[in-house]
């Protein structure tokens, strides 16, 4: 396949150069300026960064992790200001890490998982402090595992799924203890499966979907029993599909989207019946699109974003009708952008983040014209009751807001209704403290408003009460959401999340704690904690699965914490 692939690469490159020349001469644009992504910021490799051969990106809050194939490492960028991404840390391959030929990154909770092609293994990094990533453990290929030429990793719950190009197979790892990942099961290419040249993997529910470059197809595997993964179905390239050189895969149920390097196109497959996947639509490279040597794909709403290696650009495809994918916009490499050799793309909110292999850099694009800005959602700001002379607990406001389009740091806070109380805003800690005048007693409700960068807002109210000492009790007065000694405010990160999130809380004293997850109907989905816990900082990972171990659907969930006799809830959002 390689000689043929080289010929196609040469033809694609000539075609791309010709198209670029024609655009320059004629002033032709793939779409109106208003419908194309817009360059916002970029950062290139330099003596400080680890961006040589940037090949994969993954967003973690206000930080972007970049796998750099040529640098054998991972670069961490602060992207809180997208116009000026800043290097904050890097970690390189050494005697204990598995970062030689770092290829792809996935993140779960406070850990990053890196598939490394040359090391034929998976590296696990602690990124709880993104400015200081720390090696936790690594697992390498051996006689049991399928990690030879590891190209892609997907983490769901306590399992990591790895597509291994040279092993022509998929490895499943138990990562319940990140310090000691262990082999669970594996499946290899055979006469039935389409796993030759397994290149990219994504997992949803009980199924793993694999793009197999040498088999020119997609393999579907039942992973409900990770010890014995089994073949379910496959679809291979033919006269109508865009699966020749299948290289990257993404899922938005019930469809799988495949970027195909040799076909220079985007393939859409209906997998509602995993045993009989069906081609529903495809879009190929032409004089308008940026699909030459399609290398990666990400999904956001009704749009697919494709990184095109030869075109050196990003193609935006309208997939609102999966049977008829349509070009919506594109941006190509130029003197300002870092898009030459685009190999990876991730879209979050109004921005797309791109790893550019030949540019040795990262490009940030404004794609807000393709997304619908959603307002911030506020919930669970607790009512508080104190006795005369007592102090209300400070409120870290980012804990109470969810906005899929804007980072917490960009939210602007305001409030009203505090005629008798004083509200103080700490911009550094991003927290609010409510104070009562000396001798004041009574009760007031304050409405807090969060406004995002697009001017949309949401609000929630909380009541603050000061009671005379004679009316108080030993435990203090509170309602279901009040803060009293021994209880705390619940938080989680990331939020929204996929596939897992870490729930954090603090206990001021030893308490019986019940921590559970509920759906929007109030039905319990999972129990995370149920027992006595000592005072101190606590955290627990929810892997997006119910108590039967089945991955739950995307949507809004509530985390409910009962600590002693105090109840607190936190709204969380699972995205797919």
Cβ atoms within 10 Å, residue 42: 20
pLDDT of residue 27: 36
pLDDT of residue 66: 97
User: How large is the average pLDDT for residues 390-400?
Assistant: 83
Summarised one tens digit per residue, pLDDT across range 536-574 is: 888 899 999 988 888 898 888 888 887 765 667 788 888
CA atoms of 443 and 214, how far apart (whole Å): 69
Number of domains in the chain: 3
DSSP track, 125-182: EE-SSTTS-EEEEEEE--SS---TTEEEEEEETTEEEEEETTTTEEEEEE-SSTTS-E
pLDDT of residue 349: 79
Sheet with 555-563: list strands edge to edge: 524-533, 511-518, 555-563, 566-574
Q: Is the preceding peptide bond at 254 cis, omega within 30 degrees of 0?
A: yes
pLDDT of residue 5: 36
Q: Is the pLDDT of residue 474 over 90?
A: no
Summarised one tens digit per residue, pLDDT across range 92-139 is: 999 989 999 999 999 988 899 999 999 999 999 999 899 999 999 999
Least confident of 72-86, 319-333, 417-431: 417-431
Summarised one tens digit per residue, pLDDT across range 324-377 is: 999 999 999 999 898 999 999 999 878 999 999 999 999 999 998 887 667 888
Joined tokens for residue 235:
């679809």
Give the residue from 399, 430, 406 showing the smallest Cα distance to 492: 399
Residues ≥6 apart with Cβ < 8 Å to 477: 385, 465, 467, 471
pTM of the model: 0.65
Strand partners, 402: 377
pLDDT of residue 24: 41
Do residues 478 and 525 share a domain?
Answer: no
pLDDT of residue 150: 96
pLDDT of residue 566: 67
Q: Is the pLDDT of residue 282 over 60?
A: yes
CA atoms of 150 and 199, how far apart (whole Å): 8
Boundary-marking domain end, from 336, 370, 404: 370
Share of the chain above pLDDT 90, in %: 54
> Both ends of the chain: CA-CA distance in Å?
34
Under a CB-based contact definition with an 8 Å cutoff, are residues 68 and 50 in contact?
yes
Do residues 248 and 387 share a domain?
Answer: no
Q: Is the pLDDT of residue 54 over 80?
A: yes
Q: What is the CATH number of the domain that holds 387?
A: 2.60.40.10
Q: How confident is the model at residue 487 (pLDDT cuts 50, 70, 90)?
A: low
Give the residue from 234, 231, 212 showing the smallest Cα distance to 221: 231
Do residues 290 and 423 share a domain?
Answer: no
Least confident of 199-208, 353-362, 507-516: 507-516
pLDDT of residue 29: 39
Helix (H) or strand (E) holding 18: helix 2-26
Average pLDDT, the chain: 85
Do residues 519 and 529 share a domain?
Answer: yes
pLDDT of residue 550: 87
Summarised one tens digit per residue, pLDDT across range 211-245 is: 999 999 999 999 999 999 999 999 999 998 989 99
Under a CB-based contact definition with an 8 Å cutoff, are residues 228 and 185 in contact?
yes
pLDDT of residue 20: 43
Do residues 159 and 246 share a domain?
Answer: yes
Do residues 316 and 430 share a domain?
Answer: no
CA atoms of 500 and 136, how far apart (whole Å): 19
Share of the chain above pLDDT 70, in %: 88
Under a CB-based contact definition with an 8 Å cutoff, are residues 275 and 293 in contact?
no
Boundary-marking domain end, from 341, 370, 399: 370
Do residues 346 and 449 share a domain?
Answer: no
Q: Is the pLDDT of residue 3 over 70?
A: no
Under a CB-based contact definition with an 8 Å cutoff, are residues 318 and 325 in contact?
yes
pLDDT of residue 480: 37
Do residues 233 and 155 share a domain?
Answer: yes
Least confident of 20-29, 72-81, 195-204, 493-502: 20-29
CA atoms of 319 and 32, how far apart (whole Å): 19
Q: Is the pLDDT of residue 206 over 50?
A: yes
DSSP conformation class of 550: P
pLDDT of residue 14: 39
Do residues 518 and 389 share a domain?
Answer: no
Joined tokens for residue 239:
């006269």
Do residues 51 and 170 share a domain?
Answer: yes
Least confident of 170-179, 321-330, 378-387: 378-387
Q: What is the CATH number of the domain that holds 161?
A: 2.130.10.10
Measured CA distances, 165 to 143, 153, 199 (Å): 16, 12, 6
Do residues 139 and 262 share a domain?
Answer: yes
pLDDT of residue 262: 95
Domain coverage including residue 566: 485-576
pLDDT of residue 37: 94
Q: How confident is the model at residue 430 (pLDDT cuts 50, 70, 90)?
A: confident
DSSP conformation class of 474: S
Give the residue from 353, 411, 330, 350 showing the smallest Cα distance to 378: 411
Q: What is the CATH number of the domain that holds 539?
A: 2.60.40.2550
Do residues 314 and 281 share a domain?
Answer: yes
Q: What are phi and psi of 3, to 5 degrees?
A: -60, -40
Boundary-marking domain end, from 434, 458, 483: 483
Q: What are phi and psi of 176, to 5 degrees?
A: -60, -30
pLDDT of residue 484: 42
């Amino acid at each position: 396949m390689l000689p043929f692939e080289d010929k196609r690469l040469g033809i694609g490159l000539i075609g791309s150069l010709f198209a670029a020349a024609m655009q320059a001469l004629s002033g032709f644009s793939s779409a109106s300026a208003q419908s194309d992504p817009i360059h916002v910021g970029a950062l290139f490799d330099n003596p400080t960064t680890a961006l040589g051969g940037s090949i994969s990106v993954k967003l973690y809050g206000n930080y972007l992790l970049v796998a750099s194939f040529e640098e054998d490492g991972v670069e961490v960028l602060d992207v809180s200001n997208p116009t000026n991404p800043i290097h904050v840390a890097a970690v390189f391959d050494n005697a204990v890490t598995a970062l030689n030929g770092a290829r792809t990154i996935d993140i779960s909770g406070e850990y990053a998982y890196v598939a490394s092609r040359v090391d034929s293994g998976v590296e696990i990094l602690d990124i709880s402090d993104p400015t200081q990533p720390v090696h936790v453990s690594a697992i390498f290929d051996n006689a049991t595992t399928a990690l030879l030429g590891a190209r892609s990793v997907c983490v769901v719950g306590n399992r990591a799924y790895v597509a291994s190009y040279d092993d022509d197979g998929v490895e499943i790892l138990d990562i319940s203890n990140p310090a000691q990942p262990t082999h669970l099961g594996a499946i290899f290419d055979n006469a039935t499966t389409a796993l030759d040249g397994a290149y990219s993997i994504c997992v949803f529910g009980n199924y793993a979907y694999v793009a197999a470059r040498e088999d020119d197809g997609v393999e579907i595997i039942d992973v409900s029993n990770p010890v014995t993964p089994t073949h379910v179905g496959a679809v291979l390239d033919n006269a109508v599909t865009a699966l020749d050189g299948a290289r990257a895969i993404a899922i938005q149920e019930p469809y799988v989207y495949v970027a195909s390097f040799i076909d220079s196109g985007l393939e859409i497959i209906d997998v509602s019946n995993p045993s009989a996947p069906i081609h529903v639509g495809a879009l190929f490279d032409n004089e308008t699109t940026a699909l030459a040597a399609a290398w990666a794909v990400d999904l956001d709403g009704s749009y697919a974003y494709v990184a095109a290696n030869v075109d050196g650009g990003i193609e935006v495809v309208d997939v609102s009708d999966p049977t008829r994918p349509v070009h919506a916009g594109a941006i190509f490499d130029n003197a300002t952008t870092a898009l030459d050799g685009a190999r990876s793309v991730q879209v979050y909110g109004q921005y797309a983040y791109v790893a550019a292999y030949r540019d040795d850099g990262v490009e940030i694009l404004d794609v807000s014209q393709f997304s619908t800005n959603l307002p911030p959602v506020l919930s669970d700001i607790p009512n508080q009751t104190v006795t005369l002379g007592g102090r209300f607990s400070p409120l870290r406001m980012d804990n109470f807001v969810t906005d899929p389009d804007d980072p917490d740091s960009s939210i602007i806070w305001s409030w009203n209704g505090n005629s008798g109380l004083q509200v103080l805003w700490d911009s550094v800690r991003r927290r609010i403290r409510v104070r009562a005048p000396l001798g004041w007693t009574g009760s007031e409700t304050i409405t807090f408003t969060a406004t995002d960068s697009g001017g949309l807002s949401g609000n929630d109210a909380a009541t603050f009460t000061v009671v005379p000492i004679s009316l108080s009790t030993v435990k203090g007065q509170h309602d279901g959401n009040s803060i009293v000694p021994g209880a705390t405010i619940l938080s989680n990160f990331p939020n929204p999340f996929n596939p897992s999130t870490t729930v954090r809380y603090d206990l001021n004293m030893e308490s019986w704690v019940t921590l559970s997850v509920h759906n929007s109907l109030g039905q319990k989905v999972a129990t995370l904690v149920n027992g006595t816990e000592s005072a101190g900082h606590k955290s627990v990972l929810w892997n997006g699965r119910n108590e039967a171990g089945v991955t739950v659907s995307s949507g809004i969930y509530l985390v409910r914490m009962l600590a002693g006799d105090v109840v607190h809830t936190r709204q969380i959002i699972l995205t797919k």
